[in-house]
């Protein structure tokens, strides 16, 4: 059986039967279907673009015909398509490395090399922690707020390090420098009003450009630590010895006070005795003189030696305490 194409219906057969014949697809139906699909896709795009969600660490800036407003509550929100534009802003704390590459930890010399007040060079690396304080100002008050922050941080770190001597930067001055840089950056960001705030400033590392200089400063630091150790030991020894010395001093003072009281009492007793003798002497001067003479002799004779000579220097006899006892 042969099939002939008559140019009108490619599916027609010679027998004129409709069995197995396909109906042609009409162009109008295809266009209508494509239009419906396109409309559905367009509507889906509109719906997807009008819905957005925020986490607890995100804010959104919704711009309505050029007027921005902030959305700070988390959850699902809606925006008007083609009229409102939504910019989501991360409000978490971010880090900014200065003087080194945060990924490779390699030093960046043109950022880290700084000069101190005593004209020495140091490699100083810092880490700045910051966050967005105002999402609208962050998006519209400056084109690159992070670049501005980095430029200001480099300037203030370099300026502050230049106020300290090299040994201070390497040792005790580090915390003062951190606090000063944080204060200066905070005040400057408030003046610039770019929607950023400083959370923390940390000096990660301070090193000398050459190993010889580093060794010298390490030796200085060791000497300072040894001096502190000796001072602490001396203070401890003083704390141990001082109570004993104070107790000994109190003992000496108490003994001196006791001796003073004894001397005073003895002197008062002698005065009283003298006054009593004087009153008796006034009453009976002759008898009192004789009594005083006898009492004195009784007191002195037992302690004296009596030597009897012949008048020409030759000793005849020597008497000891026995005479006073007779």
Chain-centroid distance, C-alpha 125: 18
Q: Return phi, psi of residue 251, to 5°.
A: -65, -45
For the segment 113-145, what is each residue's pLDDT rounded down to a tens digit? 898 998 888 899 999 999 999 999 999 999 899
Taking CA atoms, 275 is separated from 127, 165, 290, 299, in Å, by: 94, 82, 18, 21
pLDDT at residue 45 is higher than 50: yes
Strands 84-90 and 67-71: unpaired
Each residue of 163-182: pLDDT tens digit? 999 888 988 889 999 999 99
Q: Is the pLDDT of residue 262 over 80?
A: yes
Dist CA 57 CA 320 (whole Å): 117
Name the DSSP letter for residue 21: P
Say yes or no to pLDDT of 273 above 70.
yes
pLDDT of residue 47: 62
pLDDT in tens, 198-234: 999 999 998 877 666 667 767 777 888 888 899 999 9
What is the Cα–Cα distance from 161 to 181, expressed in whole angstroms? 9
Q: Which two tokens stand for residue 291?
A: 């009594």
Length of the chain: 326
Give the pLDDT of residue 10: 47
What pLDDT does 178 receive?
A: 94
* Contact between 162 and 124 (Cβ < 8 Å): no
The pLDDT of residue 320 is: 63
Q: What number of other Cβ atoms are within 10 A of residue 169's Cβ?
A: 26
Phi first, then psi, for residue 315 (nearest 5°) are -80, 125
Name the more confident of 190 and 224: 190
Q: Over the stretch 83-104, which tens digit does the pLDDT of each residue have?
A: 888 899 999 999 999 999 988 9
Whole-number average pLDDT of the chain: 81
pLDDT band at 7 (very low <50, low <70, confident <90, very high): very low
Burial of 98 (0-12, 13-18, 19+ CB in 10 A): buried
164, 173 in Cβ contact below 8 A?
yes
Between the alpha carbon of residue 317 and those of residues 17, 93, 305, 307, 313, the distances in Å are: 194, 119, 10, 6, 12
pLDDT score of 302 more than 80: no
Measure Cα distances from 79 to 45, 89, 201 in Å.
Answer: 13, 16, 38
CB neighbour list of residue 153: distance below 8 Å, 6 or more residues apart = 96, 98, 126, 128, 181, 185, 201
Per-residue model confidence as pLDDT tens digits over 54-92: 899 999 999 988 889 988 888 888 887 778 888 999 999
Task: Name which of 300, 266, 265, 270 is nearest 278 in CA terms.
Answer: 270
Kindly give, in sequence order, each residue whose CB lies less than 8 Å from that of residue 49, ignoring residues fewer than 6 positions away: 79, 81
The radius of gyration computed from the CA coordinates of the chain, to the nearest angstrom, equals 56
């Amino acid at each position: 059986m042969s099939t002939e194409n008559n140019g009108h219906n490619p599916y027609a057969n010679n027998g004129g039967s409709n069995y197995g014949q396909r109906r042609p697809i009409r162009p109008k139906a295809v266009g209508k279907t494509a239009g419906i699909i396109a409309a559905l896709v367009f509507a889906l795009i509109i719906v997807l673009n009008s819905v957005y969600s925020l986490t607890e660490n995100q804010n959104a800036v919704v711009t309505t015909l050029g007027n921005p407003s902030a959305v700070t509550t988390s959850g699902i929100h809606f925006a008007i398509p083609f009229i409102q534009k939504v910019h989501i802003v991360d409000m978490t704390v971010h880090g900014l490395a200065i003087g080194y590459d945060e990924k490779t930890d390699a030093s960046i010399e043109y950022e880290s090399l700084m000069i101190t007040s005593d004209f020495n060079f140091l490699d100083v690396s810092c880490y700045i922690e910051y966050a967005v304080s105002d999402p609208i100002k962050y998006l519209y008050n400056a084109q690159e707020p992070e670049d501005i922050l980095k430029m200001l941080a480099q300037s203030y770190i370099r300026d502050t390090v230049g106020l300290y001597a090299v040994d201070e930067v390497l040792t005790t001055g580090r915390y003062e420098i951190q606090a000063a840089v944080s204060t200066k950056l905070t005040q400057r960001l408030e003046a610039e009003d770019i929607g950023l705030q400083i959370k923390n400033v940390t000096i990660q590392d301070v090193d000398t450009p050459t190993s010889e200089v580093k060794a010298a400063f390490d030796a200085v630091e060791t000497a300072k630590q040894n001096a502190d150790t000796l001072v602490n030991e001396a203070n401890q020894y003083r704390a141990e010895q001082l109570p004993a010395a104070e107790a000994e001093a109190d003992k000496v003072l108490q003994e001196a006070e006791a001796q003073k009281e004894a001397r005073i009492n003895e002197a008062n007793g002698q005065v009283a005795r003298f006054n009593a003798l004087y009153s008796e002497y006034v009453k009976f001067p002759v008898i009192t003189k004789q009594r005083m003479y006898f009492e004195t002799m009784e007191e002195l004779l037992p302690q004296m030696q009596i030597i009897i000579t012949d008048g020409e220097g030759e000793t005849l006899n020597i008497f000891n305490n026995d005479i006073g006892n007779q």
